[in-house]
Amino acid sequence: MSLVTKNVFYKSEDETQSKLPRKSVQEQQPEDENVEGSEDENTLIFEESDDDERDTEDKNESEDDRDEGKIGESQLEAEHSQPLSVRSTTSDANGQPPKKYAFKLKQTESGNILTVHHTVQESGKTQRIRIAAACFNEFSNQLIVIDKRGNVFVFDFVCKRYWHLNFRIPKVCLLLPSPLHKSDYIVGNKLGQILTVDVNSSLLVNLNNIGTSAIDELSFGTRIQSSKASNSLLRFGHEAMLFNLQTLNVSHQLEFNQSRYTLKLAGYLPNSDQFFTCFTNDSVHIWSTVSLNTLQIAHPIKMRNRKLRLLPTSESIPEFALRPPNDSDVEDELTFSCQDQDYADGYLLSYCFTPDGNKFGLSTLDGYLLVLSTVTFDLDKLYRLRDFILKQFVFLPLPKERILFGITARSQAIMLDLAHTEFKLFVQSENAESLCLSRDGKLLSVLSRCGEVNIWSTCRLYNTLHAQTNCLKVLHSAFQQKKPLPACNVSGCMHQEIRKLLKRDRLSAILHEYGCYPEKYRFLIWTTLLELPCNGRDFQQLLKLGVPPIIKNRAQDLKIRSDSLKRAVVKVWSCLAQWCKVFAYADFMPNLIFPFVKQLPKNGLVAFELLVTLLLNHFELWFEFHPMPPANYLAMCENLLQRQDEQLCKFYKALQLQPKDYIWSLLSNAFSEVLDEQQWLAMWDNVFTEPPYFLIFLAVAYNLINREVLLRLPDKSAVQWFFHEQNPIEVLKLIAKARKLMDNCQPDLHPKRFIQNLTPLPKEAYPKFLRYPSECITQHEEHSVMQAQLHQDIDARIRHLELEESKVMERLHKGLQQEEHTRRIKEMEKLYEETLQREEERLLCQRKMLLLYQKEVRQRKSEVLTQLQESEQRRKALEMEKEIDALMRSIERERRRQNQEMLLAEDEIRNEEMEILAQRYFSQTSTAPLAQKYYDNIQKLCRERDHLQKNLREMTMNQLDRSSRTCPETSPELMEIERSILEIQREFCEVLNSERRE
């Protein structure tokens, strides 16, 4: 089994409709929701009337009216169809808050403290509106009731007030208190809507359309306060959904990929985030809410069957029974309706958890109550429900896991004590439909089919059960002797005076006139014709002998739907077997007994004596050749048929048909398979009136009347089947034909030679039946005893082997658990090693990444330092350029100045030379030249010039050396700057050299 989920998100209508205008939420109701009824004393009634009447009655309301039960009235709103919307309001249509009315609790010893039903006046008739749902709040001090028309009523048990909310919720089918807020309730309806209702503020808080069908179940997980987690499970039909309770948004739609069986039950486990599902194959699956995977699978029915099979013969399981042990003549209905429940949907019917959440209770269709542990889901306790089944049940919190309230299939509300199975209490004997227990376990509400809700005090019910238990214990201790069986009152209407009036001649005349006896007096006439003695004392003695083992075994194969009718057949069959052993081994006896017991289900004595009379008279020759069919009896029938219709006999011989096929198949079930009920009764009216051998002529007449149909049947199987099904026939014509055959029968073929007239039973004791092979029965009994002993030995051996198998399986299970534990430990160790290895690899990778990051940081740091150095170098180069430019400008100025001075000097020298020349010319004296005269000054200037050039070159070279040492790797821009500086220096040196040469 696997789970397929669909992530679906429904937008809650409170996001889109929370600001809608205020409207009345109503819906037209079907006619079948109104149940006519009348008012009851000490019953809480809601009467709806027109506005004027309501105002008048409100003014005249008094305390006396409240004591009588009429404690309030509500206005009947106009019916119209509107979509249900979320709205915020705390008042009614007139702007006033809801009016509250007082009520009183009943003080009764039975424990019924309050009865609520809703009654209205419509068209001059009093009609009762059925209650749809009711529940208590989380604090057990409020009850909310919603009827079929959607009216919501709230009852406060603290202040003894109730009020009517001013909106309607259509087609409610589910009502639960909300675990989020104490005044909120979760409502589900048949339209597939989920609503949150605040009853204190009279408003609809939230609404969402989840599905289109009626909501069946709703349960809550543990993460209720979360607004995102899936904390609620919803089931409608064969589908389930997970949704969030705060937002009412569905998160997962659960689909199960199995077509052979479908979903039947679903819900959250108490105090857990796990939920369970139960399918129609009776398997219980435990799921995880997180992973949506199966955690565990349990098979409660298989565990129950295994426990019953391994149960020792000296032990028995606890058993509950609602009827007394000796009440076997009472005819009751089936335990369930085949249209509502079918074994094709499995045996599990309903479930309930104990208040502490430790136990899981399951009820079954075949009458068992299973209690499982919610931890291991093993079968903890098993109870047998002998004559009832539980459709719904709840456990009372105190005393712990002991008291149980339930609704049976017969609509009875019962109270059971699991510690003392012989004590039970009928809370409500009829019409109980569902129940609800308050959280503290002090109040119990029972919803009835008649449209009302009864509130019961569980304390008073428990005290009543406890008092009943003590009383029964005292009675049992006072009367230790076994209670004698009551005397059987057989047919109280059979008075001797009436029987004297019913003469056989008069009855024959009635029969010839009408063809049958009056239905009202038929069984009285039968007892008169057969002269039954009504020997109740001997019949009671036969009953005390019990059911023979062979009948007990064969009774399990009887295909009778009604349990009461089946018990009646077994009872009469057991009495016949105790009277004569051969009847216990005759295979056709249940078919022969059944039609008579069905007509007399409540009068086993009459049915028994009627059959004894038939066996001693009409069926006396049937057991001569037991267990084979009665050859002599069938030969008489065959001879008559041969004389009447040779062609039909030749047809039977051609198909190799024996008298057991066309005669015995009719007689062995007393014609019950080929005739309907009224025809059968009319036929036996004539059989009891005619001589005992009249049955032979009836069997032959049935063949003769249907000869045309029989001769046209194709094969042997068709003919055989013809005598096991109903065919159209006129029973009066059949009786007339049989009577004609009896009247015209030749003496040599007439059965009266072998069958005597009717001999009634004596009044003192039942005569013995001796027309059967006793030796064969004795051998059969010995063989049966041997077979029973052999079966017991085999069963004991099987139980021993199963116990050994269970021990071996337990040891194997323990070994497998140990092996699984070792394997899981190894897997965990391997997982831890892999995790450690992955962590080490991750740490190594992180170290490498760290080293890489460090390297990258260093590179980036070096790049930053390089950029800083380059920027510093650029700054220094710029400053050097500025200094060089300044130096060049100063040198240029100095050179210009020197040039100017040299030009001036040259001019002066020229002037002086000119003057000297002039003087030489004028004086013509042999004086010394000017070069010699100013030689010292000129040499001094040259030396200063050389010294200045030398200093300039040293300063330039020092600067170049310092730049080369600080930045070994110079950028191209710096190299370009250096080359430009060197070029400038070279040009400067050339200038100096050129000047020096000059």
> 193 phi and psi, to 5 degrees?
-100, 145
Structure-model confidence comparison of residues 85 and 617, the more confident one: 617
Cα–Cα distance, 226 to 218 (Å, whole number): 18
What letter does residue 969 receive in the DSSP assignment? S
In this predicted structure, what is the pLDDT of residue 309?
86
pLDDT tens, residue by residue, 80-98 = 233 343 444 444 545 567 7
In this predicted structure, what is the pLDDT of residue 80?
29
Inter-residue contact 458 to 443 (CB < 8 Å) = yes
Query: What is the mean pLDDT of the segment spanning 818-844?
Result: 88
In this predicted structure, what is the pLDDT of residue 683?
92
In this predicted structure, what is the pLDDT of residue 145?
93
* Alpha helices, H only, 515-630: 522-530, 536-544, 549-555, 563-579, 582-585, 589-599, 604-616
Residue 72 has pLDDT above 80, yes or no: no
- Cβ-proximal residues to 283 (8 Å cutoff; 6+ apart), any chain: 1, 297, 298, 299
Q: Which of 328-332, 357-361, 410-414 has the lowest mean pLDDT?
A: 328-332
CA angle, 818 as apex, 815 and 824 as ends, to 5°?
140
How does residue 300 score in pLDDT terms, banded at 50, 70 and 90?
very high
Cα–Cα distance, 681 to 825 (Å, whole number): 78
Residue 284 has pLDDT above 90, yes or no: yes
Burial 164-174 (b: 16+ CB within 10 A, else e): bbbbbbbbbbb
pLDDT tens, residue by residue, 806-819 = 888 888 878 888 88
Percent of the chain with pLDDT over 90: 17
CA 875: distance to chain centroid?
Answer: 87
Highest mean pLDDT among 194-203, 445-454, 911-920: 445-454
3: how many CB neighbours lie within 10 A of its CB?
A: 18
pLDDT tens, residue by residue, 627-644 = 788 888 899 999 999 988
The chain-wide mean pLDDT, for the chain, equals 78
Highest mean pLDDT among 500-504, 667-671, 940-944: 667-671
Cα–Cα distance, 698 to 700 (Å, whole number): 5
- Cβ-proximal residues to 589 (8 Å cutoff; 6+ apart), any chain: 573, 576, 583
Query: What is the mean pLDDT of the segment spanning 236-240?
Result: 85
Query: What is the mean pLDDT of the segment spanning 584-598?
Result: 89
Residue 493 has pLDDT above 50, yes or no: no
Cα–Cα distance, 878 to 880 (Å, whole number): 5
> 8 phi and psi, to 5 degrees?
-125, 145
Task: Tell me the three state secondary structure of residue 224.
Answer: coil
How does residue 495 score in pLDDT terms, banded at 50, 70 and 90?
very low
Structure-model confidence comparison of residues 642 and 891, the more confident one: 642
Cα–Cα distance, 107 to 396 (Å, whole number): 22
How does residue 299 score in pLDDT terms, banded at 50, 70 and 90?
very high
Residue 11 has pLDDT above 50, yes or no: no
Structure tokens of 906?
A: 């040259």
pLDDT tens, residue by residue, 978-990 = 777 777 777 777 7
How does residue 74 score in pLDDT terms, banded at 50, 70 and 90?
very low
What letter does residue 597 receive in the DSSP assignment? H
In this predicted structure, what is the pLDDT of residue 408?
93
CA distances from 90 to 95, 175, 202, 208, 571 (A): 8, 21, 5, 21, 67
Q: Which of 704-713, 790-799, 858-867 has the lowest mean pLDDT?
A: 790-799
Q: Which of 91-100, 337-346, 778-787 has the lowest mean pLDDT?
A: 337-346
What stretch of H or E contains 782? helix 774-923
In this predicted structure, what is the pLDDT of residue 996?
62
pLDDT tens, residue by residue, 718-739 = 999 999 888 888 989 999 999 9
In this predicted structure, what is the pLDDT of residue 385?
92
Rg (CA), the chain: 57
Task: Tell me the three state secondary structure of residue 350.
Answer: strand
Cα–Cα distance, 169 to 916 (Å, whole number): 143
Structure-model confidence comparison of residues 571 and 887, the more confident one: 571
In this predicted structure, what is the pLDDT of residue 46?
43
Q: Tell me the β-bridge partners of 352.
A: 361
Cα–Cα distance, 337 to 896 (Å, whole number): 136
pLDDT tens, residue by residue, 690-713 = 899 899 999 999 999 999 999 999
> 776 phi and psi, to 5 degrees?
-60, -40
In this predicted structure, what is the pLDDT of residue 954?
78
pLDDT tens, residue by residue, 14-48 = 333 333 233 333 333 333 444 433 334 344 444 33
Q: Kindly give the pairing relationship between strand 250-256 and strand 3-7.
A: antiparallel
In this predicted structure, what is the pLDDT of residue 95?
55
Structure-model confidence comparison of residues 289 and 488, the more confident one: 289
Residue 553 has pLDDT above 70, yes or no: yes
In this predicted structure, what is the pLDDT of residue 703?
93
What letter does residue 225 receive in the DSSP assignment? T
Write the burial class of residue 692 (CB in 10 Å: 0-12 exposed, 13-18 middle, 19+ buried): buried
In this predicted structure, what is the pLDDT of residue 492?
39
Cα–Cα distance, 958 to 940 (Å, whole number): 27
In this predicted structure, what is the pLDDT of residue 124?
79
CA angle, 385 as apex, 384 and 389 as ends, to 5°?
140
Query: What is the mean pLDDT of the segment spanning 41-70?
Result: 38
Of the CA atoms within 13 Å of residue 891, those in its CB half-sphere come to 18
Inter-residue contact 876 to 977 (CB < 8 Å) = no
* Alpha helices, H only, 24-151: 51-59, 63-67
Residue 181 has pLDDT above 80, yes or no: yes
Highest mean pLDDT among 334-343, 666-675, 923-932: 666-675
Closest CA to 443 of 179, 161, 145, 136: 136
